[in-house]
Chain A
Amino acid sequence: MRTKNIFLAGVAILAAATMTYAVPGGGTVSGKITYEGTPAKQKPIDMSKEPSCAKQYATPPTTETVVTGPNNALENVVVYISAGAPDEAAPSQAAIFTQKGCRYLPHVLAFQVNQELKVLNEDQTSHNIHPLAKINREWNKSQPPGTPPISDKYDKMEFIPVKCNVHPWMHGTFAVLKNSHYAISADDGGFKIPNLPPGKYTVTAFHESYGEQTQDVTIAGSETKSVNFVFKAKPY
């Protein structure tokens, strides 16, 4: 009888523990990414060698090595918890990377270690997807129009530049991360990482042209902590 009671109490404690972890709530890290200085001027892309793509744009799209918004906002920054959070199993849904109009959508794609990556070609031209991994394995596959998605996954954390060798203006980034606590800064530079259990964390912000910055933050209860990053822009 007594053992049974202890057992039940144990189950209750366990259940409570899992609940606090799984239930959305917890703390939030949010903030804004900005730059100071003069960022490199993004150049219009000449797609004349690929008419099927060029005709999709009224005015030529520009390169995306630095994408900014009003009030010095910096877009496409990957903000993630680099220390303090346990590694997590990959979610079951795939991360989708689309080639459309000879550009990568999204320009920066974040997903988890061992999460399925699906690469789609919605263009009327062949692309080759060439993620230049250094820590993970480097591969390079051709994807003509109308062929099924290319599926792959990476087993180590890494920021991987992606390019298409046929269309040299196509550049993107895969951010392969160890847990689900990440966000990518929007066009106003804002980001939000919710559902953080109480604890001490290191927040890292990664930008493909300006590198990495880190800040430490302590979350208690369900508070929202503000963390802002300012990157030094390089004119070229």
Chain B
Amino acid sequence: MRANKSMQWMFLAAALVALPSLAKAQQGEIHVGKVTGHAGSGKQLYYRFCWGCHGFRGDGNGENAPYLNILPRNFVAGTFKCRSTATGTLPTDEDLYSSVGRGFNNSNMPAWISLTNQQRADLVAFIKTFSPRWKTDKPGDPINVPAEPALTLDSIKHGKELFTKLECWKCHGPEGRGDGPSASTLTDSNDQPIRPYNFAAGSRFKCGATNHDLYKIFMTGLDGTPMPSFADVIKPEDAWDLVHYLRTLQVAHKSPELTLWMSSKEGAEIVNAQKIVGTPTGSGIKQ
């Protein structure tokens, strides 16, 4: 009886020792909303859908990589463009999850809407096993995005001033067509040539299509690319003014910002002039 009791204690002790390894098993899990992603299931999906570009080891050196203009993401490096977190930090699980579902505009990464929410979450859990950074670093805290103030002509005009003052035009060009004086010299962190975003070419951005997404892009920067973070140099209210102005540069996309801007004499003149003049980077693109 007594021996039995000590056996029980030993079991309890063994269970306590085993607890950390149990917690370790949970490291391969991620949570996005109500969905829990499992790395084990994600692994099978990865080696069916992703490795052709992202590579067997997740280093971006897949079979298709040499044929792609914008190289596939290297998950081993652990640097990500689209984040809700400050520059230099890891993205949140939510950030990665929305990237998989959204795809990347102007690149070969499609929006994986053919996969279920569960499958996308599983994939996120698995790609996080490629870089040791996920063990040593914590993801950054999402930046605070205050509510968007009302759209006014003044906010667009102020945004236009900021576009000049902060020298966005040096890369993105005076009309936002991606043809500024530094544009042709830009390289990403792997020394690959990279083009600044051409606002005139469409409605979607690299990291989403909403004003909220646009706000996050210049406040967090696109890590691994020449696009820096402006979080330390733009006040939140100014940032929203810049968002309103940037929308008017999307001359082929009907937005409330563009409509309001066109209703003013100054705005109409600027936009009409842009449409006529065109530039090498903007003129050939069909909408």
Q: State A114–B87 Cα separation when bound (angstroms).
A: 18
Mark each residue of chain B from 199 to 228: 1 if its CB lies under 8 Å from any CB of chain A, else 0: 000000000000000000000010111111
Q: A125-B167, A165-B228 are in contact. Are A142 and B182 (CB under 8 A)?
A: no
Q: A144-B165, A144-B167 are in contact. Are A137 and B185 (CB under 8 A)?
A: no
User: Which residues on the A side are within 8 Å of B229 (C-beta)?
Assistant: 139-142
State whether the Cβ of A228 lies closer than 8 Å to any Cβ in chain B: no
Instruction: List CB contacts (< 8 Å) of A104-160 with chain B.
Output: 125-126, 128-130, 132, 134, 137-144, 147-148, 150
Give the residue name and chain of the B residue nearest to A140 (CB): B228
Q: Main secondary structure on chain A at its contact with chain B?
A: loop
Q: Is A140's CB under 8 angstroms from B226's CB?
A: yes
Contact of B182 among A129, A140, A141, A165 (CB under 8 A): A165
Instruction: List CB contacts (< 8 Å) of B25-58 with chain A.
Output: none
Q: Is B182's CB under 8 angstroms from A139's CB?
A: no
- Give the residue among B189, B223, B225 with the most A Cβ atoms within 10 A: B189
Q: State A147–B166 Cα separation when bound (angstroms).
A: 11
Give the residue name and chain of the B residue nearest to A148 (CB): B232
User: Which residues on the B side are within 8 Å of A132 (C-beta)?
Assistant: 189
Q: Is A130's CB under 8 angstroms from B226's CB?
A: yes
Q: Is A166's CB under 8 angstroms from B182's CB?
A: yes
For the complex formed, measure the closest distance between the CB of B245 and the CB atoms of chain A, giving whole angstroms: 17
User: Which residues on the B side are within 8 Å of A70 (C-beta)?
Assistant: none
Q: State A147–B228 Cα separation when bound (angstroms).
A: 15
Q: State A147–B189 Cα separation when bound (angstroms).
A: 25
User: Which residues on the A side are within 8 Å of B230 (C-beta)?
Assistant: 142
Instruction: List CB contacts (< 8 Å) of B163-186 with chain A.
Output: 165-167, 170-171, 181-182, 185-186
Q: Is B232's CB under 8 angstroms from A147's CB?
A: yes
Mark each residue of chain A from 30 to 55: 1 if its CB lies under 8 Å from any CB of chain B, else 0: 00000000000000000001000000
Q: Main secondary structure on chain B at its contact with chain A?
A: loop
Contact of A140 among B87, B185, B233 (CB under 8 A): B87
User: Which residues on the A side are within 8 Å of B137 (C-beta)?
Assistant: 137
Q: Is B77's CB under 8 angstroms from A134's CB?
A: yes
State whether the Cβ of B79 lies closer than 8 Å to any Cβ in chain A: yes
State whether the Cβ of B61 lies closer than 8 Å to any Cβ in chain A: no
For the complex formed, measure the closest distance between the CB of A178 and the CB atoms of chain B, giving whole angstroms: 18
Q: Is A141's CB under 8 angstroms from B232's CB?
A: yes
State whether the Cβ of A211 lies closer than 8 Å to any Cβ in chain B: no
- Give the residue among B77, B170, B225 with the most A Cβ atoms within 10 A: B170
Q: Is B223's CB under 8 angstroms from A167's CB?
A: no
Q: State A139–B80 Cα separation when bound (angstroms).
A: 11
Contact of A166 among B171, B189, B231 (CB under 8 A): B171
State whether the Cβ of B92 lies closer than 8 Å to any Cβ in chain A: no
State whether the Cβ of B118 lies closer than 8 Å to any Cβ in chain A: no
User: Which residues on the A side are within 8 Å of B231 (C-beta)?
Assistant: 141
Q: Is B87's CB under 8 angstroms from A139's CB?
A: yes
* The 5 A-B residue pairs with the shortest CB-CB distance in the complex, in nearest-first order: A139-B88, A165-B226, A128-B228, A168-B185, A126-B167
Other A-B pairs, 17, CB within 8 Å; known A138-B88, A142-B166, A142-B228: A125-B167, A132-B189, A137-B89, A139-B221, A139-B229, A140-B87, A140-B225, A140-B229, A141-B221, A141-B231, A142-B221, A142-B229, A142-B232, A147-B233, A165-B226, A166-B167, A166-B182
Binding site for B on A (CB under 8 A): 49, 125-126, 128-130, 132, 134, 137-144, 147-148, 150, 165-168
